[in-house]
Amino acid sequence: MIKPVGSNELDPRFVYDTEEHSKLAKEAETLPSVTISSQAAGNAVMMGAGYFNPLKGFMNVADAMGAAEKMILTDGSFFPVPVLCLLDSADAIGDAKRIALRDPNMEGNPVLAIMDVENIETVSAEQMAVMTDKVYRTDDAEHPGVSAFNGQGNVAVSGPIQVLHFSYFIDEFPDTFRTAVEIRNEIAERGWKKIVAFQTRNPMHLAHEELCHMAMDRLGCDGLVIHMLLGKLKKGDIPAPVRDAAIRKMVEVYFPPNSAMVTGYGFDMLYAGPREAVLHAYFRQNMGATHFIIGRDHAGVGDYYGAFDAQTIFKDEVPAGALDIEIFNADHTAWSKKLDKVVMMCEAPDHEKDDFVLLSGTKVREMLANGEAPPKEFSRPEVAEILIAHYQAQN
């Protein structure tokens, strides 16, 4: 199986030993505590689950700046984005060397992790601006990722963490949330050797489904991991439980047995386009995928990124040898009226726009809200039925 990034074995920060876990949970109640941001909580969950291996905790400012500017930390290791625990104030910490990090996304703010405090630093406005520009390629406050990143505070608390739970993801998505460790174990149990991963924050229409089939066929993969984001999205995106149901139905009906695995991970979407594409590849290698599909405007939002920036960054900016996972570059896929099948648009040079079945997101949402299924060339009827029920429940 492919090795994790930067190590031979995963080092998840979750405390699995039950005796040690109980001991730490009791200790946590005696420690100074801070309720962290949703973005920081997602970072803690990802470290706990082994996805950010070999990262052991939240970065100090020097490492965060290195990640932002060159994707290289001060020790020379590779990481594509800053992983910070930002607060408005560190007053509650005082001179404590060990603190509890509380979950902002669960009632009662239970302890999510314990941190050994190594540094408490004020991040300057200039440093925040540099990180914002490098990671998001814009300082526009209307960009949802920029807004979330800059709304956390400017006091960075750094140090290694021990994670005690996986936030609301375990409770709300018990059949879908999986750690990198669990996915690696299931890949081994299934006997897969070559695995392609597909990222989604949306339901999968026919074009997405066929793109996965194309990638599997062309790469000679024996397994597909559909890996959906379960954390916070922007307003208007389909809720995770609805996406989950729609994707599971698609796999059940249209994929052969033991060829596709439906899983999810706990993290808030950054909408950082190219940089987030690299992060996605990073943690897909950690979960055991040998290949990763990146399509047009991967992890983008609005018009902030070029259509293929998330592909070219791997060639132009990612340091050589940083990742072992291979990228499957994909163009937009759509149903060809001429060929009577789904194709990558770049592979149909004799086609005009009208030769494809193309529907805007707005049009699809209108159809679903009216109880009307999109054409079969766009969406599987079983998937459309689940989405119609969701949209009509909103009215």
Does residue 243 sit in the same domain as residue 287? yes
Instruction: Give a yes or no: residue 13 inside a domain.
Output: no
Does residue 349 sit in the same domain as residue 300? yes
Does residue 186 sit in the same domain as residue 238? yes
State the angle between helix axes of 381-394 and 240-254 in degrees (0 to 180), rounded to the nearest 10: 160
Q: What is the pLDDT along the chain (395 residues), one digit of tens a residue?
A: 999 999 999 999 999 999 999 999 999 999 999 999 999 999 999 999 999 999 999 999 999 999 999 999 999 999 999 999 999 999 999 999 999 999 999 999 999 999 999 999 999 999 999 999 999 999 999 999 999 999 999 999 999 999 999 999 999 899 999 999 999 999 999 999 999 999 998 899 999 999 999 999 999 999 999 999 998 777 777 888 899 999 999 999 999 999 999 999 999 999 999 999 999 999 999 999 999 999 999 999 999 999 999 999 999 999 999 999 999 999 999 999 999 999 999 999 999 999 999 998 889 989 999 999 999 999 999 999 999 999 888 86
Q: What is the CATH number of the domain that holds 297?
A: 3.40.50.620
DSSP readout, 102-156? EPTTSTT--EEEEEE--EEEEPPHHHHHHHHHHHHS---TTSHHHHHHHTS-SEE
Does residue 273 sit in the same domain as residue 218? yes
Range of the domain at 196: 175-394
Does residue 260 sit in the same domain as residue 355? yes
Does residue 190 sit in the same domain as residue 164? no
Give me the long-range contacts of 181-186 (CB less than 8 A, separation at least 24): 181/10, 181/12, 181/49, 181/50, 183/225, 183/261, 183/263, 183/287, 183/288, 184/1, 184/10, 184/287, 184/288, 186/261
Does residue 75 sit in the same domain as residue 47? yes
Q: What is the CATH number of the domain that holds 61?
A: 3.10.400.10
Catalytic residues: 201-202
3-state secondary structure of 178: coil
d(CA 127, CA 56): 23
Does residue 162 sit in the same domain as residue 188? no
Does residue 148 sit in the same domain as residue 186? no
Does residue 200 sit in the same domain as residue 248? yes
Residue where one domain finishes, among candidates 151, 170, 189: 170
Q: What is the pTM of this model?
A: 0.94
Instruction: Give a yes or no: residue 9 inside a domain.
Output: no
Instruction: Give a yes or no: residue 4 inside a domain.
Output: no
Yes or no: say if 158 and 121 are a contact pair by the CB < 8 Å rule: yes
